[in-house]
């Protein structure tokens, strides 16, 4: 912290001197001012002080927006990344969305870029979820005008989320959290095939990459259970049962696969009542297992 404080003091003095310099308008000095502002803004963000970062960063964002769109150099990329950290922290969703769109279109497929893009994706998702909440409230109100407006907003939000997930899915360099985010949102969007493919990609990567497998170890029960749930939802009961049995063999007392097995057994029974006994036996037996077992 002492070093950071000293760095801020020295950079602030440097910036003031550069701005007041007789050569402030020269290309070389403008580059010095640009780099000093950016470094100061990044340090402020490291301190979790976006309010202090914004006035340093905004002129850099404005300069970039005035240039023709195109591939980003490292300096420009740093500006967009810092902006996409600053605007959401200050609750400025419109500016965050604008920057996110530019970064999505022009940023390279790199873990750091993709990690920051997840902040943009969460803003779009939150907007979509708000439209769903408004549609529910509108239906409760019985106001036809409000209902129609809410339906239009919900449709637009749904389509925006589909477009975003499709664009994000073209990128490959995501960490575990990013891969799960895409898979879960495809599921919520009603695209089970795409969601299942995303979860399968996580499982395949864990099988091939020991370092990734170690990172994913704590989340793997949930990931495999969600994948099995998608198989069940698509009516692939035999494959789902095979997968859940394998998972329960490894983790016999894990809650999620225990619940999922009951759901798998129950699903076909809803069409063939003769199969309810098997499902009932599983749920009844599960109640007698340890404390973390499902209760019915």
List Cβ neighbours of 151 (8 Å cut-off, separation of 6 or more). 135, 138
Which of 142-151, 159-168, 260-269, 284-293 shows the lowest mean pLDDT across its residues? 284-293
Chain centroid to CA 63: how far?
Answer: 28
Percent of the chain exceeding pLDDT 70 equals 96
Tokens of 291: 């404390």
Q: What is the pTM of this model?
A: 0.76
On the question of pLDDT at 286 being above 70, the answer is: no
List Cβ neighbours of 128 (8 Å cut-off, separation of 6 or more). 154, 157, 158, 160, 161
Query: How far is residue 260 from each of residues 41, 84, 106, 142, 240, measured CA to CA in Å?
Result: 48, 38, 41, 37, 9
Res. 285 pLDDT band, cuts 50 70 90: confident
Burial grade of 270 (CB within 10 A; 0-12, 13-18, 19 or more): exposed
Please report the pLDDT score of residue 58 as a whole number.
95
How many whole angstroms separate alpha carbon 260 and alpha carbon 227? Answer: 10
Res. 46 pLDDT band, cuts 50 70 90: very high
User: CB atoms < 10 A from the CB of 228, how many?
Assistant: 27
Mean pLDDT in residue range 117-126:
91
Please report the pLDDT score of residue 281 as a whole number.
85
Mean pLDDT in residue range 232-242:
91
Res. 102 pLDDT band, cuts 50 70 90: confident
Query: What confidence tens digit (pLDDT) does each residue in 198-210 have?
Result: 999 999 999 999 9
Q: What is the mean pLDDT of the chain?
A: 89
Query: What confidence tens digit (pLDDT) does each residue in 47-59 have?
Result: 999 999 999 999 9
Please report the pLDDT score of residue 289 as a whole number.
53
On the question of pLDDT at 237 being above 50, the answer is: yes
Mean pLDDT in residue range 223-236:
93
User: CB atoms < 10 A from the CB of 91, how many?
Assistant: 8
Chain centroid to CA 102: how far?
Answer: 17
Pick 166 or 64 by higher pLDDT.
166
How many whole angstroms separate alpha carbon 63 and alpha carbon 69? Answer: 12
How many whole angstroms separate alpha carbon 201 and alpha carbon 179? Answer: 8
Res. 295 pLDDT band, cuts 50 70 90: very low
With contact defined as beta carbons under 8 Å apart, do 46 and 11 qualify? no
Residue 219: DSSP 8-state: G
Res. 124 pLDDT band, cuts 50 70 90: very high
Cα angle 218-220-223, degrees, rounded to a multiple of 5: 130
CA dihedral 212, 218, 234, 166 (to 10 degrees): -50
List Cβ neighbours of 220 (8 Å cut-off, separation of 6 or more). 206
User: CB atoms < 10 A from the CB of 148, how many?
Assistant: 11
Exposure class string for 271-291: b at 16+ Cβ within 10 A, else e = eeeeeeeebeebbeebeeeee
Mean pLDDT in residue range 105-127:
89
Please report the pLDDT score of residue 277 as a whole number.
83
On the question of pLDDT at 292 being above 90, the answer is: no
């Amino acid at each position: 912290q002492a070093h950071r404080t000293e760095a801020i003091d020295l950079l602030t003095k440097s910036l003031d001197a550069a701005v007041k310099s007789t050569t402030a308008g020269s290309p070389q000095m403008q580059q010095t001012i640009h780099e000093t502002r950016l470094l100061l803004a990044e340090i402020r963000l490291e301190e979790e002080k976006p309010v202090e970062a914004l006035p340093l960063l905004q002129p850099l964002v404005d300069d970039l927006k005035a240039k023709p769109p195109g591939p980003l150099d490292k300096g420009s990329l740093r500006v967009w990344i810092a902006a996409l950290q600053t605007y959401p922290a200050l609750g400025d969703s419109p500016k965050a969305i604008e920057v996110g769109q530019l970064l999505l279109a022009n940023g390279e497929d790199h873990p750091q870029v993709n990690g920051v893009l997840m902040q943009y994706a969460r803003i779009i998702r939150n907007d979509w979820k708000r439209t769903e909440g408004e549609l529910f409230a509108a239906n409760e109100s019985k106001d036809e005008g409000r209902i129609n407006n809410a339906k239009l907003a919900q449709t637009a939000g749904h389509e925006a989320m589909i477009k975003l997930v499709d664009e994000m899915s073209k990128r490959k360099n995501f960490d575990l959290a990013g891969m799960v985010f895409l898979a879960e949102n495809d599921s919520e969007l009603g695209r089970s095939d795409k969601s299942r493919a995303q979860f399968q990609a996580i499982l395949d990567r864990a099988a091939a990459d020991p370092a990734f497998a170690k990172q994913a170890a704590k989340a793997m029960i949930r990931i495999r259970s969600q994948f099995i749930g998608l198989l069940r939802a698509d009516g692939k009961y035999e494959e789902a049962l095979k997968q859940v049995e394998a998972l329960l063999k490894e983790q016999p007392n894990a809650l999620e696969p225990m619940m999922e097995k009951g759901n798998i057994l129950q699903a076909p029974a809803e069409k063939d009542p003769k199969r309810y006994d098997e499902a009932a036996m599983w749920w009844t037996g599960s109640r007698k297992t340890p404390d973390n077992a499902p209760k019915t």
